[in-house]
């Protein structure tokens, strides 16, 4: 009989040991005398001999076993449940539902995970994951559709701009020709009409050229014709185009460059387009009889180019919009010049294609500086 009892106890103990619940035996002071294998696995082997309240995270009140004992005087052990946050060996606390049983010398504590709660959380997370994945699928699908529409838009833009270029060019040339040849025999009003036609044609041609550039960039057909080029020559050529514009507003172009700069790998015509555009912008935004400063320097393995004007400056909130298509800042051009809203977009794309960087610094009332860099060690792609 005795051996059967011993055997039953040992079987019972073995089950307890491997059950997925924390089974702890404490003395009356709350010291852990014994812990089942699962408890040691979850909380660490060192829990034996620790005080019970040391294994729980108690944020706002102190958990007291004596209070539980008083509670149990009027209730069944199965009715008194305490949800306690236990310090898990992984470092992530886990909430166990604890039940206690008090005898003369010993306290038995049994903690189990709230499976219903875990199950509902698991279901919710799985549901959220599915929902998120369905949305991601939808997003990819919409994205592919948008990309297709964008390609079609660029194709249309490219075709339209290409077809418009020739008639605009003809109208521009002939209006220019008429101003020169027929100007002297026309009256002031008629000359004014011709001048407006010519200016509009110049603007339209610029717009069409910008459209063609943007459409090529967005269609990924923006190829660089890379050669080692002299930065001085590129700068000189660009400024030659800007001189006339500056002279009309009596603006001085102040150029500062170092003595010697080695040739740099670049698409010279595109960098010339960038410099012309930046200097032209500076001239347009600065008042007559002021200075636009152009500076070229070498910093580490980069060429740094800057254009500084004495214009009204750009508000900090508008700086980030400067490189967005068709965005125009509130800064007015001093000579009433028109902008396509694409120049800075194209400029940035050209610089980025050269693996350079472009940025703007501006102080309201003082002026704006546009910087760009070109890596001197870059050999180009492919």
Partner 1 sequence: MIAQEVYDQYFNALLKGDRVRCTQMVQTLLDQGIDIQVLYRQLFEKSLYQIGEMWEQNLISVAREHLVTAITENLLNLVYPFLFSQRKLERKVIISCAANEHHQIGGKMVADIFEMNGWDSYFLGANTPTDQMISFIGEIKPDLVGLSLSIYFNVPSLQQGIEAITREYPELDIIVGGQAFRWGEISFLKKYSQVQYMKSIEDLENQLKKE
> Could you list the residues that contact partner 1 (CB under 8 A)?
122, 126, 129-131, 133-134, 136-137, 140-141, 143-145, 147
| Minimum CB distance to partner 1 smaller for 54 or for 140 | 140
Output 9 or 131, the one with its CB closest to partner 1.
131
Q: Which residue, 46 or 136, is less far from partner 1 as judged by CB?
A: 136
Q: Of 161, 278, 149, 276, nearest to 216 (Cα)? A: 161
Supply the minimum distance, in Å, between the C-beta of residue 141 and partner 1. 5
The CB-based long-range contact list for 214-220 (8 Å cut-off, 24+ gap) reads 214/154, 214/157, 214/325, 214/342, 214/345, 214/346, 215/154, 215/155, 215/157, 215/158, 215/161, 216/158, 217/346, 217/349, 218/150, 218/154, 219/151, 219/154, 219/155, 219/158
**Closest Cα partner for 75 from 44, 100, 94, 49?**
100
CB of 38 to partner 1, least distance (A): 17
DSSP bridge pairs for 102: 107
Name the residue nearer to partner 1 (CB basis): 146 or 170: 146
**CA-to-CA distance for 101 and 90, rounded, in angstroms?**
28
Comparison of 57 and 132: residue with beta carbon closer to partner 1: 132
- The answer to whether the Cα torsion of 41, 42, 47, 52 is positive or negative is negative
| 27 contacts 33 by C-beta, under 8 angstroms | yes
Minimum distance of partner 1 from residue 147's CB (angstroms): 7
Residue with tokens 């717009």: 207
Q: What tokens does 174 get?
A: 């002939």
Shortest gap between Cβ of 140 and partner 1 (angstroms)?
A: 4
In the bound complex, what is the minimum distance in angstroms from residue 134's beta carbon to partner 1? 5
Nearer to partner 1 (CB atom), residue 75 or residue 90: 90
Name which of 58 and 131 has its Cβ closer to partner 1. 131
Sign of the CA dihedral running 279, 284, 285, 287:
positive
Residue 88 Cβ vs partner 1, minimum distance, rounded to whole Å: 18
Q: Smallest distance from the beta carbon of 219 to partner 1, in angstroms?
A: 15
């Amino acid at each position: 009989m005795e051996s059967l009892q011993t055997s039953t106890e040992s079987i019972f103990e073995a089950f307890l040991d491997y059950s997925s619940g924390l089974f702890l035996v404490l003395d009356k002071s709350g010291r852990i005398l014994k812990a089942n294998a699962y408890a040691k696995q979850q909380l660490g082997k060192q829990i034996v001999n620790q005080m019970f309240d040391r294994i729980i995270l108690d944020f706002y009140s102190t958990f007291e076993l004596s209070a539980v004992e008083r509670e149990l005087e009027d209730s069944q052990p199965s009715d008194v449940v305490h949800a306690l946050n236990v310090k898990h060996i992984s470092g992530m606390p886990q909430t166990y539902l604890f039940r206690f049983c008090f005898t003369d010398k010993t306290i038995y504590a049994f903690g189990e995970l709230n499976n219903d709660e875990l199950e509902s959380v698991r279901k919710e997370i799985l549901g959220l994951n599915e929902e998120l994945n369905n949305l991601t699928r939808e997003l990819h699908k919409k994205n592919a559709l948008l990309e297709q529409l964008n390609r079609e838009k660029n194709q249309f833009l490219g075709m339209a701009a290409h077809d418009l270029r020739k008639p605009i060019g003809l109208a521009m040339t002939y209006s220019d020709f008429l101003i020169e040849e027929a100007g002297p025999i026309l009256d002031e009003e008629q000359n004014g009409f011709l001048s407006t036609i010519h200016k509009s044609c110049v603007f339209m041609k610029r717009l069409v050229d910008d459209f063609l550039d943007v459409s090529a960039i967005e269609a990924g057909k923006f190829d660089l014709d890379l050669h080692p080029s002299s930065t001085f020559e590129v700068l000189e050529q660009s400024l030659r185009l800007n001189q006339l514009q500056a002279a009309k507003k009596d603006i001085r172009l102040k150029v500062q460059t170092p003595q010697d700069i080695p040739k740099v790998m670049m698409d010279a015509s595109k960098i010339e387009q960038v410099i012309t555009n930046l200097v032209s912008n500076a001239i347009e935004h600065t008042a007559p009889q002021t200075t636009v400063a152009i500076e070229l320097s070498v910093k580490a393995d980069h060429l740094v180019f800057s254009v500084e004007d004495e214009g009204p400056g750009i508000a900090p909130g508008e700086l980030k919009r400067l490189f967005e298509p068709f965005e125009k800042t509130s800064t007015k051009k001093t000579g009433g010049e028109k902008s396509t809203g694409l120049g800075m977009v194209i400029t940035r794309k050209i610089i980025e294609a050269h693996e350079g960087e472009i940025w703007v610094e501006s102080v309201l009332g003082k002026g704006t500086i546009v910087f760009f860099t070109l890596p001197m060690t870059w050999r180009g792609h492919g």
